[in-house]
Structure 1
Amino acid sequence: MRFGLFGTGPWAHLAHAPALAAHPEVEFAGVWGRDAGRAAGLAAEYGARAYSDVDELIAEVDAVAVALPPDVQAPIALRAARAGRHLLLDKPVATVATEAAEIAQAVEDHDVASVVFFTRRFAPEIAGFLDDVVAIGGWSEARVDHLGSIFTPDNPFGASPWRRERGGLWDVGPHALALVLPVLGPVAEVTAMSGERDLTYLLLRHGSGATSRLTLSVDAPPAAAREEAVFAGEAGVRAVPPALWKPDVALGTALDQLLRAAAGGPGPECDARFGATVTAVLAAAELSARDGVRVRLDESR
C-alpha cells in the first residue's frame, strides 16, 4: 500500500517515517509538510518524494499517515477520506467535535479503513491488560493521572505551539480516554475544572453508571510528573501496567491493523469513529471548565 506522510516534526521523525519505511507491506511514497525544506530533507532520508501540494500527494497514494497538529490534520483527513484514501491519524483527530464527526462519517461513506494512533493502545502490555479487564467486567470507577513536563530544553515536543495553547487536556487527555472508554463505556456527562498552569481535572459519568476521574497536564512541575491509571470494582483494584516507549513499533502495529481492515478484515478499535468520540468528550470538558457547568454529551456538539 502506497502511503503519503503529512508532517515533518518530531513525531514524524520518531514514529511515522521509520515505521512506514520498515513495514514490509508499505511503500513510503511521499512527504508533505508546512516547511518545504524539512519535507525535502525527510523525504530524501527515506528515498521518498517531497510534495508541495496536499491534493497532489493524496491523489498519488492509497493511504495517508498524518503527524500534524489537530487543526491542520482535520481538513487533510477529510479531503483524503473523501478521495477514498485510508487514514492513519494522530490524536486528537480534531479539537472541534463536529469536524471529527465529519471525518468519521466520510470514512463510512467512502468505505475506507481508519486508525487513530493512541500510542499506548498499540503496546502489547496495554492491549492485553484492557482485554483482560473488559472480560472480567464489573468495574465501577477509574482514576487516571497523566501529568508531564514537556516545556524543557531537552523535550522535542515542548516547542509545539498547539500543545502550549491547548495544554494537557488535548495532548494527554486522548490517551487517558483511550484507556477508560473501552472499560467503562461511553461518557454521558462531563464536569471539568482548570487549575494552575494547564492542569485540568475531569469527572466523567459513564452511561453504564460508572465514574472516572482524570488529572491532566503537560506543564506540571517536573517532580510532580506521573502516569498512573487504576480501575476498581467487584474484582478489586487493577493498575494499568507500564509499557515500553517504542513509538515506531507501536505505529507498526497500527499499520498492521489498518492494512487488515483495508483488505476486508476487522476494523481497528481505535478508528475514526472512536477518535470522534474522544474529541466530543474533550470538547465537552473544555466547555465545562470554561463556563463552570456540567455538560451532557449531546449538549456539547
Structure 2
Amino acid sequence: MSDRLTVGLVGAGPWAGMAHAPALAAGPTTELAGVWARRTEAAEELGARFGAPAFERLEELFDACEAVAFCVPPDVQAELALRAVRAGKAVLLEKPLALRLDDARRLADAVGEAGVVSQMVLTARYAASTREFLTRAQALRPMGGVAVFTGALADSPFATPWRLERGALLDLGPHLVDLLDAALGRVVSVRAQGDPLGWVALTLEHEGGALSQAGMTAFAGGSLPAPRVEVFGAGGHARLAWPEELKEPFGQMIAEFAQAVRTGASHPLDARHGLRLQELLAQAEAQL
C-alpha cells in the first residue's frame, strides 16, 4: 500500500476540474488514481490535465483506487456512491447526499453498514478562518446568529438542472445550516418561509435556546458579496471571513480524508452528518 491514498474521481464537470481533481492530484497525502464520467471524452480530457487515466467502466475505476470522490449531481451520486460503498470504498461526498431524502438515508445507512469512511465536501468548514471563527463564536456564550448566502445561477457553469429546479435550499442551505449548527449548537427545529426559486428565510432553534436566521437565494443579480455568517453572544460578536480561494480548504479536506481512511477513524463531517443536514432542509422545504 502506497503512503498516498489512491482516490478515483467520479465526475468531470467544471467543479471537478476547479476543485476536486487539482486537490487530489496535488498530494502529498493523495494520488488521483483515475477519472470516470458518463461522457468518456470528458473523463479523458480531465484525466490528461492531471496525469491520470480515464476509465470507461465504473468498476474499473473502483479496482484502481482505495477511495472514491464524487462530483456529480446528487441523484447520480446517490446511485453511484452506493455502488462504491458496497465495493468497500471510502467515499468523499458532495452535498446534498441525494435529491430525495429516502435516497440520502439509504446511502448513509449503507456507509454505516459497510463500515467505510465517509466525508462531506462542506468546503468552508475546512478553512482555517472558519475554524478560528467557530472557536471564537463558541466562546461568546452565543444567543443568536445570522447568515446570508446569495448566488447567481444565470449564465453560470453551475446552472445544472437540479439547481434550477430546486433552488437555493438544497445547494446553499447545507453550508449555512452546517455553520450555524457548529457555531450555536445542534439545530433542533427549523421554520421556513419564502420561495425556493426566489428568497428563502429560515429560523433555526438550537440546543440551549439560541436562535438564528439564514437567508439565501440562487437567483440574485449584479455583483454579489461573499456569504455572511455572524454570531452574537453575551461575550461579544464574531463574524466569519469566508474563504476566498479553494486551494487551502480543499487541501485540508483532502488531508483529513486521507488520514481518516488510513486510520479508520470517523470524521465529524461524515455521511451521517450530511443526512442530518438534509433532514432539516427537507423539513424546511416541506413548509414552502
Which TM-score applies when normalising by structure 1?
A: 0.87
Matched, 1:286 2:285: yes
1:162 is aligned with what amino acid? W
CA RMSD of aligned residues (A): 1.9
Helix, strand or coil at the partner of 1:268:
coil
Which residue in 2 is equivalent to 1:156? 157
Amino acid at match of 1:110: A
Aligned pair 1:87/2:88, yes or no?
no
| Displacement of 1:68 | 0.9
- Whether the 8 Å CA contact 1:15–1:251 is kept in 2: the answer is yes
Quote the offset at 1:225 in angstroms: 5.1
Note closer, same or farther for the CA distance 1:186–1:85 as it changes in structure 2 (3 Å cut): same
Contact persistence 1:28–1:48 (CA under 8 A): yes
Map 1:9-88 → 2, pairs under 5 A: 9-88=13-92
Distance 1:210 1:90, change over 3 A: same
Structure 1 residue 223 displacement after superposition: 5.0
Change (3 A) 1:76 1:131: farther
- Inter-partner Cα distance in structure 1 for 2:205 and 2:101: 19
Q: Aligned partners of 1:267 and 1:56: how far apart in 2?
A: 27
- Asked if 1:144 corresponds to 2:143, the answer is no
Normalised to the residue count of structure 2, the TM-score between the two structures is 0.91
Following TM superposition, the consecutive aligned residue runs of length 4 or more in structure 1 with deviations greater than 6 angstroms are none
Which of these residues, 106, 122, 125, is aligned with residue 102 of structure 1? 106
Q: 2:11 aligns with which of 7, 19, 29?
A: 7
1:144–1:214 contact (8 Å) kept in structure 2: yes
The alpha carbon displacement at 1:102 in A equals: 2.6
Shift of 1:132: 3.0
Report what 1:249 is aligned to: 248
Residue equivalent to 1:228: 228
Q: CA separation in 2, counterparts of 1:27 and 1:223?
A: 37
**Aligned 8 A contact 2:91 2:119 in 1:** yes
Distance 1:125 1:232, change over 3 A: same
Task: Work out whether 1:117 is the aligned partner of 2:121.
Answer: yes
Change in CA separation of 1:238 and 1:132 when aligned onto 2, cut-off 3 Å: closer
Q: How much has 1:113 moved relative to structure 2?
A: 1.4
CA–CA separation in structure 2 for the residues paired with 1:280 and 1:171: 14
Partner of 2:192: 192
* Runs of at least 5 residues in structure 2 that lack an aligned partner in the other structure: none
The one-character-per-residue Cα deviations of 1:21-48 (angstroms, maximum 9, x if unpaired) are 1112322111111222111111222222
Distance 2:186 2:100 in 1: 18
Q: Is the 8 A contact 1:190 1:288 kept in 2?
A: no
1:170-209 → structure 2 map (5 Å cutoff): 170-195=170-195, 197-209=197-209
- Structure 1 residues 267, 196: CA separation in 2 closer, same or farther (over 3 Å shift)? closer
Rounded Cα–Cα distance in structure 2 between residues aligned with 1:229 and 1:93: 23
Amino acid at match of 1:178: D
Other structure's SS at 1:44 match:
helix
Say which SS state the counterpart of residue 203 (structure 1) adopts.
strand
| Shift of residue 53, structure 1, vs aligned partner | 2.2
One-letter amino acid of the structure 2 residue matched with residue 206 of structure 1: H
Q: Aligned letter for 2:249? A: A
Contact 1:95 1:283 in 2 (8 A): no
State the secondary structure of the residue aligned to 1:24: coil
Structure 1 residues 224 and 19: CA distance shift in structure 2, 3 A? closer
Measured after TM superposition, the shift of residue 197 of structure 1 is: 4.1
Could you say what secondary structure the match of 1:49 adopts? coil
